[in-house]
Chains A and B, each alone.
Chain A
Amino acid sequence: MVTRARDGGPFAREVEHTADLGLEIEAPTLALLFERAGLAMLGLMADLGRVEPRERRALGVEAEGREQLLHDWLQALLVALGVNGFLACELDIQQLSDRVVRGTMCGEPFDAARHEIYTEIKGATYHQLAVRETESGWWARVIFDV
């Protein structure tokens, strides 16, 4: 299932943290949780409404455990932007286990003329990092270093 930034909706809620930025994310499935977390994080950094899904790129990470996996997935999205200048507005996870997440991101190269960057997130921290199964699905909390 593809998650699109422009679909809007309550993907996530900002956590109050004095120095940094944090998010709490809910979703009915773990794959959707990862997709929403990724777009919510990028949405803190830029106006994704102005990003066009022109180009599709593969994105995948392997790690030990769900929390590390979520951390590394978010990190991969940050590297795609920081190193390759690619801003995603759609995420589609095709494979997800406790050790691997694979999917695609759709978006376009960052263009300073059209895309507004609000703030730069340097990375996801391990501070209070949590991924939990709930009665209605899945919940995660991530604090970012900005």
Chain B
Amino acid sequence: MSEASAPLRLTRVGEYVWEIPRQGGMRVPARVYASEKLIEEVRDDPALAQLANVAHLPGIVGHALAMPDIHWGYGFPIGGVAAVDAEEGVITPGGIGFDVNCGVRLVRTGLEAAAIGPHLSRLADALFQAIPAGVGSKGAIPKLTLAEEKQLLARGARWAVARDFGRPSDLEATEERGCFAAADPEAVSETALERGRPQLGTLGSGNHFLEVEEVAEIYDAEAAAALGLHLGQATVMIHSGSRGLGYQVCDDALRTMGRAMERHGIRVPDRQLACVPLRSAEGQAYFGAMAAAANFAWANRQVMTGLAEQAFATALGVGPETLRFALVYDVCHNVAKLEEHVVDGRRRRLCVHRKGATRAFGPGHPELPPHLRPLGQPVIIPGDMGRYSFLLLGTAGAMADTFGTTCHGAGRVMSRAQAKKAGRGLDLVRDLAQRGVTVRAQSLRGLAEEMPWAYKDVADVVDVVDGAGIARKIARLKPLVVVKG
């Protein structure tokens, strides 16, 4: 159970599915969704050994899964999925990630891309000014008190909507309706609360962004129309998470669990994979704190939606009746949820860990709001800032094969250090401008780490999940404005 072990045996079991058979202490086999091209890119990567490690988790059922955007994480690969029995299995913060409920939302507008084209520079400036970004930036709500913060942790996006950020209908279009009922603000440490307080309504840096996009291609006109989308329409995409609060919740849990594992008779090769039984006191405390951090992230994205709408209004001189902001959907791609799935013909209650993977419930799922139930759950897949992002829908295939899960993004191919080296001497801002993308970033060096070619082509990733039937393509979105922390 280590990353340096002998090469893993990888067998092709379907056009887009590869299997690592059970070996060593693996409790279940592992499966990777990939094309031939993508599997070659990952074959010698430590990510596959990390996936095999995931298959050791006590209580794991089915297969340890990796989506086509799999890449090397810490402990658990990014793009990894583990479904464990809710009664007998474990919960691992490493299977969720530091940025609890890191996620993406897509907002449709009443604007046409062609009409706002001449004003993109002004719009980019307004958005950059309105949305606080990374280190040292102050939150959108500077005087958040501890009592308000705890209310927010209990209520999630509802807290933000009640303060006029966005509108009530946005909640229907958010996973869990923007509020994890299991949230326990009292399980969140003082340090985590302290870290979160100045950061509500901030984007963060790294791969987080806010984009104005154009619907550039539609693959299913009927479904797109049902989601209120048409060719040439302007949309807004926000990628952000629970900021320092979520990190601290994860870090606190890793420490507690590191100590508790011995008592529970659990051993792991990497402290980052620390886990405890979900039903244990430590497991329940973490679940409550994680859910509270998830609520922080939903409130955060909801606040930024409101700020973005105000920035549009200021920059374009139009009112809400013209902007017609409406949330298409908001997904989390770093989270664990209690869900029911059929495993070997039996319905079971599972704790599904998705780390860099997106829930993709198929049509008819009772968790979906009425307007989305006939369609399936919208899945938002951000790409790199130079090319495109995608909107997909969840499928029955995902329910049958991947615990209702699909990919989450492009996945990196270059380390940040490599990207910085590759970007030396390049004028990335001008290069993006030539591609029709207006960029505003806090740091050019930070921007270089996120250069388009540091990522896989997200179209390759999306083609795999579409081809494998674990999501289906609805629309392609082209970036017009990118705001980076």
**A residues adjacent to B (C-beta < 8 A):** 14, 16-21, 45-46, 68, 75, 79, 81-83, 85, 110, 112, 115-120, 122-123, 125-129, 143, 145-146
With A83-B194, A123-B251 as contacts: A16 and B137 at CB distance below 8 Å: no
Task: Return chain A residues, CB-CB under 8 Å to B75.
Answer: 125-127
> How distant is the Cα of A125 from the Cα of B255 in the complex, in angstroms?
11
Residues of B within 8 A of A19 (CB): 71-73, 78, 412
A residues near B45, Cβ cutoff 8 Å: 18
Q: Which of B98, B204, B248, B416 contacts A21 (CB 8 A)?
A: B416
Interface check B191, CB cutoff 8 A: yes
In the complex, the answer to whether B74 meets A145 with C-beta atoms within 8 Å is: yes
B206 CB–A CB distance under 8 Å? yes
Known: A83-B195, A123-B98. A118 touches B446 (CB 8 A): yes
Interfacial chain B residues near A129, Cβ < 8 Å? 271
A-B contact number at CB 8 A: 114
Tell me the chain B residues, 97-152 only, with Cβ under 8 Å from chain A.
98-99, 134-137
A128 vs B445: C-alpha distance when bound (angstroms): 26
Chain B residues whose CB sits within 8 angstroms of the CB of A123 once the complex forms: 98, 247-248, 251
A14's nearest neighbour on chain B, judged by CB, is B417
Contact with A along B65-79 (1 / 0, CB 8 A): 000000111110010
- Could you list some 14 contacts between A and B, CB below 8 A? A17-B416, A19-B78, A19-B412, A46-B135, A117-B134, A117-B442, A117-B446, A119-B449, A123-B98, A123-B251, A125-B272, A127-B74, A128-B270, A146-B205
Choose one: B206, B417, B445; the contact of A120 (CB below 8 Å).
B206
Q: A18-B415, A145-B74 are in contact. Are A120 and B195 (CB under 8 A)?
A: no
Chain A: which residue is nearest B72 at the CB level?
A: A18
> A16's contact among B134, B248, B415, B485, by CB below 8 Å, is which?
B415
A18-B72, A125-B98 as given contacts; A119 in contact with B415, CB under 8 Å? no
- Contact of B443 with A by CB under 8 A: yes
Whether A82 touches B244, Cβ cut-off 8 Å, given contacts A19-B78, A117-B134, A127-B74, is yes
CB distance from B355 to the nearest CB of A (A): 11
Interface code B384-423, partner A: CB below 8 Å = 1, 0 otherwise?
0000000000000000000000000000111111100000
> Contact at B136–A112, with CB atoms within 8 Å?
yes
Choose among A14, A115, A120 the residue with the greatest number of B CB atoms under 10 Å from its CB.
A120
Q: Which residue of B lies closest to A123 (CB)?
A: B247
Q: Which of B454-484 contact A (CB under 8 A)?
A: none
Of A16, A20, A81, which is in contact with the most chain B CB atoms at under 10 Å from its CB?
A20
Within 170-200 of B, Cβ neighbours of A (below 8 Å) are at: 191, 194-195, 197-199
Chain B: CB-nearest residue to A126: B271
Q: Which 10 A-B pairs have the closest CB atoms?
A: A127-B74, A126-B271, A120-B205, A110-B136, A118-B445, A122-B247, A127-B272, A125-B74, A119-B446, A117-B135
Alpha-carbon distance A145/B197, docked complex (angstroms) = 20
Interface residues on B, range: 35 or more
Give A145 to B274 CA distance when docked, in angstroms.
17
Interface pair B251/A75, CB less than 8 Å apart: yes
List of B residues within 8 angstroms of A83 by Cβ: 194-195, 197-198, 244
Contact B270 A127, beta carbon cutoff 8 Å: yes
A16:B98 contact, CB within 8 angstroms = no
Q: Are A18 and B204 in contact (CB under 8 A)?
A: no
Which residues of B are interface residues toward A (Cβ below 8 A)? 45, 71-75, 78, 98-99, 134-137, 191, 194-195, 197-199, 204-206, 243-244, 247-248, 251, 254-255, 258, 270-272, 274, 412-418, 442-443, 445-446, 449, 485
- In the bound complex, residues from chain B placing their C-beta under 8 Å from that of A115 are 136
B416 neighbours in A (Cβ, 8 Å): 17, 20-21, 119, 146
CB-CB nearest in chain B for A78 = B244
Q: How far is the CB of B409 from chain A (nearest CB, A)?
A: 11
CA distance A143 to B270 in the complex (A): 13
B197 proximity list for chain A (CB < 8 A): 83
Q: Which residues of B contact A68 (CB under 8 A)?
A: 255
Within 8 Å CB of A118, what residues of B? 443, 445-446
Q: Cβ of A120: which chain B residues have Cβ within 8 Å of it?
A: 134-135, 204-206, 485
Q: Enumerate chain A residues within 8 angstroms of B199, measured Cβ to Cβ.
A: 82
A140 CA to B85 CA, complexed, in Å: 38
Query: For the complex, what is the distance from the CA of A128 to the CA of B49, rounded to whole Å?
Result: 14
A68 to B254, CA, bound (A): 11
Q: A117-B443, A120-B485, A126-B272 are in contact. Are A82 and B73 (CB under 8 A)?
A: no
Q: Are A122 and B98 in contact (CB under 8 A)?
A: yes
Quick check: B412 and A81 within 8 Å, CB to CB?
no
Residue in B closest to A13 when the chains form the complex, CB atoms: B417
Q: Which residues of B contact A18 (CB under 8 A)?
A: 45, 71-72, 412-415
Q: Is the CB of A117 within 8 A of B136?
A: yes
Q: Which residues of B contact A16 (CB under 8 A)?
A: 415, 417-418
> Chain A contacts of B206 at CB under 8 A?
119-120, 122, 146
Cβ-defined contact, A145 with B135, below 8 A: no
* List of A residues within 8 angstroms of B243 by Cβ: 122
| Nearest chain A CB to B214 CB, angstrom units | 28
Complex formed: what's the CA distance from A123 to B414 in Å? 21
B449 and A122 contacting across the interface, CB-CB below 8 Å: no
Name the residue of chain A whose CB is nearest to the CB of B242: A122
In the bound complex, do residue A110 and residue B270 qualify as a contact, i.e. CB atoms below 8 Å apart?
Answer: no
- Further contacts, 15 of them, CB under 8 A, given A16-B415, A126-B74: A17-B416, A18-B413, A20-B416, A82-B195, A82-B198, A82-B244, A83-B198, A119-B205, A120-B485, A122-B244, A123-B251, A126-B272, A127-B271, A127-B272, A128-B270
How far does the alpha carbon of A123 sit from the alpha carbon of B249 in the complex, in Å? 11
